[in-house]
Structure 1
Amino acid sequence: MDNLKLDSLKPLIQYGALAGIGLFLVYKTMHKPKREDEIPIVGSSGFLSSYLDAFTYLLKAPEFIQRGYELYPNGIFRVAQLYHWEYIVCGPKLVKEVGNTPESVLSFYAGVDEMTQTKYTLGRSISEDPYHQLTVRSSLTRNLHTCFPDVRDEIVCAFDDVLQLQGSEWKPLPVLPTMMNIVSRVSNRLFVGLPLCRNTEYLDNNVQHTIDVVRSGMSISLFPEFMRPTIGPLISHKELSWARALKILGPILEERLAKEAELGSDWPGKPNDLISWLLEIAVGEQRTTEDLTLRILAINMAAIHTSSMAFTHALFDLTTHPEHFLPMREEAERVVREEGWTKAALNNMPKIDSFLRESQRLNPGGSLVMQRRVVSKDGFRFSDGTVLPHGAFMSIPSRAVHYDTSNYENAATFDGFRFERERVEHMAQHEPSEQDIFKRHMISVAPDHLPFGTGKHACPGRFFAATELKAMLAHLVIKYDPPLRKPTNKRYV
């Protein structure tokens, strides 16, 4: 009887096994890993022609990346660089995977090292042990409310001192250098406090160091890796910038270290600034004037470069689209009248916030962001089956994403109050919550808005940057008149 039952079940078992094998083969076919040499190339694949493309890419990178994005909007393609392939990752799903993958698999720091040549332009200790990032992420952000009165005071003084405008006379000013001087002063009011934040020699060194890092990093990247240890120190001006900073910062840092040694870490009158925040977490060799000076230089470089560029673009956008000026002035004057100049008041200036976010969207810092390097020995596998090997470089096409009409209506058109309207519409359609104030906010990150990246390594300094930029723009629209307006008692810039 049992044998009879078994015989009757054999066909079912056989067909079931065949069906299982078939499904397994289909699954394996659909999920077969795509090797790096199977990833499509934008440009040429030949040995010599790909090198020619790499040189062409230096001049026409946005065109290469846009072409690839249009062909593979939710996939991965690659473009030839001088010494490696750059894998460009597209589509919200894959971008999230990059952003949420641990540093031990996809390294943010290794990606930045390749882009800026950190060990030569900022210092080997910055490259190998970036502990100062924790200070920016924690202490700096946590103290923004407490320190905002100092930030506001320095904005007022810096605009007056740097612009040096008198009466209603027009005065031509180079925008980016002027903004770098103002941003440097405002940032250092928080970093090192008075009177050093107004020391011309100290500020000039920080600004020049910022320029040198960007230029030197690009130049060093043009040489093959085996030549960089020799060429890097010859091109970089790091040692000169460091020596100048050490001359000014050295005595101050030695005094701080001596006070801690004598009176403990919470000594009376201890300044609430970046130096103190660094000393709270620095250990061993990190607690030297030499290393601390490098950290302060590095944080200055990041703050000055990004915020100065962002504010410069915002000024050009305001000049091009002056219809935004009066609504922002009215908003800023009303909020300041009702709440004063506070960090919390800035959250009630959605037009100013939206204007800056839109300016960032249309003026990304480059065609690519979120640079990563695969550091896992096993490589990295995306959910679509694509596998990148150990050592591969990847990035996200920010400009293409920001100009994608599937992400933004009239994506190529500047609409300064775009995000304010979206937030109002969202509030009208949903039950209000504490998180709603940050919907499409300047500090919010997403796969379709990448000025600060997204995921685990979203820019830790974005909270300070947004506070600084919004306070500067609010000050500017209140105090200064735009071109083509009837003169008032305001001064012109």
Structure 2
Amino acid sequence: MYVSFETIPTFVWVFIVTYAIYLIKKPRLSKNEPPLIPYKYPIIGHTIDFLFNPENFLAECRQKYGDPFNIYVFGQVNTIVGNEIAHEVYQSDTFSLSVATRDSFPLYRVLRSLDNPETMESLIKAIREGITAKLPLYTGRMQKQLMGYINKEIGDCPKPKLIDTAADNFASMIARPVADVLVGQEISKNEDVIKAFADFTKDFASILAIPPILSFIHPKVHTQVITLPLRFGFNPILKHMITLKKHLKPVLEKRLKEKKILGDKYEPPLDIIEYFVNDLENETKVITEGYMNKICDFIFITVVASIHTTSRQLSSALYDFAGRPELWDDLYEEQVRIDKESDGELTSQHVNKMVKLDSFVRESLRTFDAVAAIPQKCMDSYTFKNGMTIPKGRTVLTYLSDIHYNTTAYGPNPRSFLPHHGMENNIPASKTDKNYFIFGSGKHACPGRFFAVNEIKIGMHKLILKYHIKTPSGKVEKKVFHGPLAEPPITGLIFENR
């Protein structure tokens, strides 16, 4: 190969720049940190193994170096915490999920209320007081909304019908009861609002499609680049905001008017927007544009935290059911018995009696989720009980496979599907513990998990009663992995009338 004299300086500069980046980005650990796993490639570190072989890579690291350990991915050191250490992270106020996700999922660029640190506190309070505490009151409405979707989107299946699940993983199904609870029964009948709720997270995620290559320089560089479209006017989710405002504003104005006229005789509707407007911090006499922005931000933050994850979990549970014919009769018999007891109208007591289905859902959740996920940002230097210390600013990832597949809790074959484990051990699907982190744990546990589990159970109850459900292969379909993150299978499901 001929190399001209003029090309030599180019090679020299490339070498100098590459070496400078290597020196700048070379990880420097402080004293008493968890061990940094050795890597072959400067700058790249463990990125390739973490993206393309996360299960085997992290298992080998865990076996050789214990819990916790450090890996070097996309130019940043991340601490991986597993079965022995993770519970410490979730019991401490030193770690923040919201801060950790700002760079990788910069929703605050669109929902400005997220810039206020009190927003998440208000959201958690609203979910606990406005939804979880009143869950029995929502049960009837929930099943009505779910049946509306089932009858419309799946419908009558006298012959086997293949339903595509890849498009939204039943997001439209989950969006209906969520809309009912958030914005009320009147607005939740509007198909445009349902579509806005179902598509919001998916459309925002389209902005994040660029791989975080620029994070090798710095995470903020990547964030600045992926959010450029927003700053230049391309906002694929603005239409959803406009849709919600259009239908929500007249309802809010009507309620304020009725409240003023009726006074103490006013009967407040049961939904989160009523909870929001009755909260002293959010009281208003006039529905201004600023007030609409605030309440719509509040609603869509809840949508992001609920619909996408719950619909994925429902979809995965249906695949687990469809691919395991040995479980069909047992689960069907329980649903038939409860349907007869309830005369087709479920109450919270009937949902609580679905112990076999609850145990099945718990096991589906345990075996579904990512290899490693749930980033937490260390807000101050923190020392684990084993004496290891991590610095302020460090991102901590939960090694979910190490937690959900540990032999102490789940026996000698923890990767096998154990449909009766929750029932035999009296552990409901919504209960978090040190061996089950699907909803987080401790102070960082998801406040909406009770509602989410009820949605999944009621949805599966109605579907199992109405249809035979199978996979195209007749077997358990493989999940789709994007790096260490899991998605439900994309093969579709076959429905046939019982």
1:374 maps to a residue whose letter is C
Moved more, 320-329 or 219-228: 219-228
1:468 & 1:78 partners in 2: Cα distance?
37
Is the alpha carbon distance of 1:189 and 1:399 closer, same or farther for their aligned partners in structure 2, counting shifts above 3 Å?
same
TM-score by length of 2: 0.78
User: 2:410 matched to 1:408?
Assistant: yes
2:142 & 2:241 partners in 1: Cα distance?
26
1:89 & 1:290 partners in 2: Cα distance?
38
1:372: which partner in 2? 376
1:270 & 1:85 partners in 2: Cα distance?
51
TM-score by length of 1: 0.79
1:454: how far off? Answer: 0.8
Is the alpha carbon distance of 1:138 and 1:36 closer, same or farther for their aligned partners in structure 2, counting shifts above 3 Å?
farther
Structure 2 segments unaligned to the other structure (5+ residues): 1-28, 285-289, 475-494
Q: SS of the residue aligned with 2:44?
A: helix
1:174: how far off? Answer: 1.0
Q: SS of the residue aligned with 2:442?
A: coil
Q: SS of the residue aligned with 1:394?
A: strand
1:382: how far off? Answer: 0.9
1:462: which partner in 2? 449
2:351: which partner in 1? 346
User: 2:217 matched to 1:228?
Assistant: no
Residues 130-183 of structure 1: CA deviation (Å, up to 9, x unaligned): 2222111221101110121111222222210121325x1222211252611111
Is the alpha carbon distance of 1:156 and 1:239 closer, same or farther for their aligned partners in structure 2, counting shifts above 3 Å?
closer
2:391: which partner in 1? 389
Q: SS of the residue aligned with 1:456?
A: helix
Is the alpha carbon distance of 1:231 and 1:309 closer, same or farther for their aligned partners in structure 2, counting shifts above 3 Å?
closer
User: 2:114 matched to 1:117?
Assistant: no
2:139 & 2:386 partners in 1: Cα distance?
46
Residues 243-299 of structure 1: CA deviation (Å, up to 9, x unaligned): 3332333333344455556656x6623210111122233625998111111111121
**Matching of residues 57-456 of structure 1 within 5 Å:** 57-73=50-66, 75-92=67-84, 94-102=85-93, 105-120=94-109, 122-125=111-114, 128=117, 129-130=119-120, 131-166=122-157, 168-176=158-166, 177=168, 179-217=170-208, 219=210, 221-223=212-214, 224-226=219-221, 228-229=223-224, 231-234=226-229, 237-260=236-259, 268-281=266-279, 283=281, 288-340=291-343, 341-364=346-369, 366-376=370-380, 379-409=381-411, 410-420=413-423, 422-423=424-425, 439-456=426-443
Is the alpha carbon distance of 1:145 and 1:66 closer, same or farther for their aligned partners in structure 2, counting shifts above 3 Å?
same
1:232 maps to a residue whose letter is T
1:229 & 1:196 partners in 2: Cα distance?
36
Moved more, 208-217 or 272-281: 208-217
Contact 1:373 1:393 in 2 (8 A): yes
1:359: how far off? Answer: 0.5
Task: Give the ranges of 4+ consecutive aligned residues of structure 1 lying more than 6 Å apart after TM superposition.
Answer: none
1:249 & 1:221 partners in 2: Cα distance?
37
2:255 & 2:224 partners in 1: Cα distance?
35
Contact 2:169 2:315 in 1 (8 A): no
Is the alpha carbon distance of 1:96 and 1:115 closer, same or farther for their aligned partners in structure 2, counting shifts above 3 Å?
same
1:87 maps to a residue whose letter is T
2:100 & 2:294 partners in 1: Cα distance?
23
Contact 1:369 1:453 in 2 (8 A): no
Q: SS of the residue aligned with 1:51?
A: coil
Larger Rg: 1
Aligned length: 429
2:383 maps to a residue whose letter is R
1:433: which partner in 2? none
1:152 & 1:295 partners in 2: Cα distance?
25
1:361 & 1:113 partners in 2: Cα distance?
27
Is the alpha carbon distance of 1:97 and 1:218 closer, same or farther for their aligned partners in structure 2, counting shifts above 3 Å?
farther
2:49 & 2:271 partners in 1: Cα distance?
46
Alignment partner of 1:51 out of 44, 52, 57: 44
Contact 2:372 2:399 in 1 (8 A): yes
1:326: how far off? Answer: 1.2
2:174 maps to a residue whose letter is V
1:241: how far off? Answer: 3.0
2:74 maps to a residue whose letter is L
Q: SS of the residue aligned with 1:49?
A: coil
Percent of aligned positions that are identical: 22
Is the alpha carbon distance of 1:110 and 1:201 closer, same or farther for their aligned partners in structure 2, counting shifts above 3 Å?
same
Is the alpha carbon distance of 1:316 and 1:101 closer, same or farther for their aligned partners in structure 2, counting shifts above 3 Å?
same
Contact 2:182 2:272 in 1 (8 A): yes
2:22: which partner in 1? none
Is the alpha carbon distance of 1:285 and 1:196 closer, same or farther for their aligned partners in structure 2, counting shifts above 3 Å?
closer
1:123: how far off? Answer: 3.8
Contact 2:130 2:271 in 1 (8 A): no
Contact 2:200 2:240 in 1 (8 A): yes
**Matching of residues 18-29 of structure 1 within 5 Å:** none
2:365 maps to a residue whose letter is Q
Moved more, 248-257 or 177-186: 248-257
2:132 & 2:247 partners in 1: Cα distance?
26
Contact 1:114 1:221 in 2 (8 A): no
2:38 & 2:240 partners in 1: Cα distance?
40
1:322: how far off? Answer: 1.5
1:467: how far off? Answer: 0.9
Aligned residues: CA RMSD: 2.9
2:270 maps to a residue whose letter is N
Contact 2:104 2:223 in 1 (8 A): no
Contact 1:148 1:342 in 2 (8 A): yes
1:96 maps to a residue whose letter is H
